[in-house]
Chains A and B, each alone.
Chain A
Amino acid sequence: MAQTAQGTPATPAASTPSGETSFPAGTPIIVEGTPALGGSPMPGGSPPPPGTPVGAMIGTPAALETPAENTAAFPAAVPFDAVPMGFYTDTTVCIGCKACEVACKEWNGLSSYNGGVNVLSGDSYDNTRHLDGQHWRHVKFIEQFDNTNQGRQGRWLMMSDVCKHCVQAGCMDVCPTGAIIRTEFDTVVIQSDVCNGCRACIGACPFGVIEINPTNNTAMKCTLCYDRMQAGLTPACAQACPTASIQFGAIDDLKQSAQQRLEQLQSLGETRAQLYGADDKIVGGLNSFYLLVDEPEVYGLPASPQLPSRNVPTSGLMSTAGAVAMGVLGLVGLRKRRMDQFAAERAGTGQRDEEVTGD
């Protein structure tokens, strides 16, 4: 499917008829109506003085990485090369600390649920439960415990979930406004100033990534920190991850290190280790791919996700066949009626003739 033939340019324009601004270089995405970041964009960073524009912070990569020493010169932002970039997530080293979730929410200014009042899930140590418009990162806890097992056998699987930035993206496939674009880094970004909230992308994403963000009433998801990447910065989640479970970089490099790690695990006897989305078998490849140690379904990932438009040609053919059948039946009905009418008229005429000439 023509994934690149979207109606909108790869680099969004700075302003729109509605007056909103969408992702000009060096500006983080701010959810409409939410206050600008009040604290440091990264864990460990010192808070900017009050009133510092958020956009100013992103132009200071060195300051963000070593805030204490670097207070003098701010080097200019150097964007990454326009090559496919993404995440490789090694789930075996995730410790479930959720630093990535927090960093994502903080950087992107994502609001909390229930006015910040914590709601416990009640059946898991994970209280986020799923990705949505306000949670662009979610650390899944797969709690494999058999309650009937006296030996208390079991294990935790942790997986930091995010938009997969699919090479063939279902969300982009269906989006009727061109709000969803593919960037120069081969990542998938929703322009919130173009989205009109039809919600087609929500049902189209095979991974259940997107939902409406109630703050601006548009569909939202991970942008792979497009704003940070344009300034040559590592996405907030990858930078915050303390175990390097989330690795960020050029996809080709990430695939190499994932392959090495896979071989290492397998040589150590972890035969269930497998890469998910590192090749093109899953929707053309995932620019956020995973190393798993169980079947994808165990992690809540579909085994063979597909593009939503796959159903359109056959559905169209079936409907057309039905329409033709109904048309033919309608024509046959009208024709039969005319024939019956002729027959009745002829019979009537014959009868009259008989009456005229008759007995």
Chain B
Amino acid sequence: MTSIGSIGSLVLAQTPPSDTFYTHAPEWTWLIVVYFFVGGIAGGAAFLGAMLDLFGAPQDRPLARLAYVVSLPLIAIGGPLLIWDLNRPERFWHMFIQSETGRPMFKYWSPISFGAWGVGVFGLFIFLAAVGTLAELGHLPASLRLLREGVVGKAVSALAGLFGLFVAGYTGILLAATNRPLWADTTLLGLLFLLSSISAAAAVLILLSWRWGHQGSVHWLAEMDVYSSLLELVTLIVLVISLGSVALEVWGNGWGVLLLVGTVLIGILLPLALHFRPHLAGRMSLPSAAALVLIGAFVLRAVVVLSSEAV
């Protein structure tokens, strides 16, 4: 005969694998996925541009310029997406200013708070870098070239690059600073998104420049894409292993298949194969690999965000 005690243990046998399974989903869905994607590319592009600018050769400058002018519109799209996602968008400024005291609102331990400021500061420096670039190209008054020259130019590039790295990775930390399944069960999402953002940004720049870009610069971008993809693969494997039964619970379904096919196979392994065996697709190897990387980066964000939302 079953005792009440053992019925209690029947219930306990269904206990979820982590304390994170007792929480509610914040309903961060497609707007957030798209923001993570475009924001990540914007940040990664600024980082790559700054590297080429600060440590590259003069022939790298066209690609650095491309990186800045690509990054600016992407973050300009990302910011409004975040505002649109709020339930009360007209109060977005409450993130920056305390609505009742007028004092600045900043919490260094809350990624959504320091993230909002980080995106704002990044937006400022990438704007300056892009304005300087347009002046350099003759589309804006020559005096604004100052933003790309000398100490000022170096400072603008360095700060755009550093805050770009921040924007590329903080989104994963934002997810970790919850109590949701998967997101809060690991501390690797920030690193994963950072690496994926750099590889996606390199892919975008390759796609836009492989026909006309200086060969040395494009080759360096392809190298960065390979390094970040390899590290991303390792991080993803460590993540799945460290998640253990949580991974089974959240990804032991269609989401897991999508991650495996969309990100691991299409977004990482195939592009790596094309990099290491360029004869597979001939002249189109480089742009094909870049396009696949972009698909993988988008699927990664969609799976990470939506699979936890679905729990």
Contact = CB atoms under 8 A, between A and B. Distances in A.
A300 interface: yes
A187 interface: no
Contact of B178 (A16, A155, A308): A308
A158 to B, nearest CB: 15
A144 B8 contact: yes
Contacts of A311: 173, 176-177, 184, 187
A43 interface: no
Nearest to A201: B26
B100 A194 contact: yes
Interface string A146-184: 100101011100000000000000100111111100000
B252 to A, nearest CB: 21
A327 B194 CA distance: 12
Given A212-B87, A321-B191, A326-B195, A146 B23 contact: no
Contacts of A330: 48, 51, 55, 220, 224
Interface in B105-135: 105-107, 109-113, 116
Contact of A145 (B7, B116, B183, B195): B7
Interface in A232-258: none
B12 A301 contact: no
Contacts of B172: 315, 319
Given A197-B88, A316-B190, A329-B227, A207 B22 contact: yes
B92 interface: yes
A196 interface: yes
Contacts of B100: 8-9, 12-13, 16, 194
Contacts of A9: 100-101
Interface stretch (A48-56, A291-299, A346-354): A291-299
A221 to B, nearest CB: 11
Which of A144, A151, A316, A326 counts the most chain B CB atoms within 10 A?
Answer: A326
A173 B178 CA distance: 10
A356 interface: no
A297 B12 contact: yes
Interface in A302-359: 302-306, 308-309, 311-312, 314-316, 318-319, 321-323, 325-327, 329-331, 333-334, 337-338, 341
B165 interface: yes
Q: Which of B12, B106, B113 has the most CB of A within 10 A?
A: B113
Contact of B112 (A151, A178, A200, A314): A200
A219 B24 CA distance: 12
B1 A151 contact: yes
B12 A327 contact: no
A208 interface: yes
Contacts of B101: 7-9
B209 interface: no
A145 B11 CA distance: 9
B109 A309 contact: yes
A339 B101 CA distance: 58
A94 to B, nearest CB: 17
Interface residues of B, number: 79
Given A177-B99, A315-B172, A338-B57, A305 B19 contact: yes
Contact of A322 (B4, B20, B194): B194
B191 A153 contact: no
Given A153-B2, A196-B88, A315-B176, A205 B187 contact: no
B149 interface: no
B189 interface: yes
Nearest to A12: B100
Nearest to A329: B227
A173 B223 CA distance: 40
Most chain A CB within a 10 A radius of its CB, from B22, B28, B100? B100
A203 B26 contact: yes
A204 B177 CA distance: 7
A2 interface: yes
B210 to A, nearest CB: 17
| Residue from A12, A18, A311 whose CB has the most chain B CB atoms within 10 Å | A311
B98 A8 contact: yes
Which of B88, B165, B172, B191 gathers the greatest number of chain A CB atoms within 10 Å? B88
Interface string B47-65: 1100110011100000000
B28 A176 contact: no
A146 B231 CA distance: 49
B287 interface: no
A295 B89 CA distance: 42
Contacts of A217: 87-88
A199 B51 contact: no
Nearest to A331: B55
Contact of A18 (B16, B19, B27, B91): B91
Contacts of B223: 329, 333
A207 B21 CA distance: 9
Contacts of B16: 297
A120 to B, nearest CB: 22
Interface in B58-111: 85-89, 91-92, 94-95, 98-101, 103, 105-107, 109-111
A268 interface: no
A76 interface: no
Contact of B4 (A154, A179, A331): A154
27 contacts: A144-B10, A146-B10, A153-B4, A174-B110, A174-B112, A174-B177, A175-B110, A177-B91, A178-B94, A196-B87, A196-B94, A204-B177, A204-B178, A206-B22, A218-B87, A294-B8, A298-B8, A306-B179, A311-B173, A311-B177, A315-B172, A315-B191, A319-B191, A323-B165, A326-B198, A326-B231, A330-B51
Interface of A: 1-2, 7-9, 12-13, 16-18, 130, 132, 142, 144-146, 149, 151, 153-155, 170, 173-179, 193-200, 202-212, 217-219, 272, 294-295, 297-298, 300-306, 308-309, 311-312, 314-316, 318-319, 321-323, 325-327, 329-331, 333-334, 337-338, 341
Given A7-B98, A177-B95, A177-B99, 6 more contacts: A18-B91, A217-B87, A308-B177, A308-B178, A323-B47, A333-B220
Shortest Cβ-Cβ A-B pairs, 6 listed: A197-B87, A302-B19, A196-B91, A319-B190, A203-B178, A176-B113
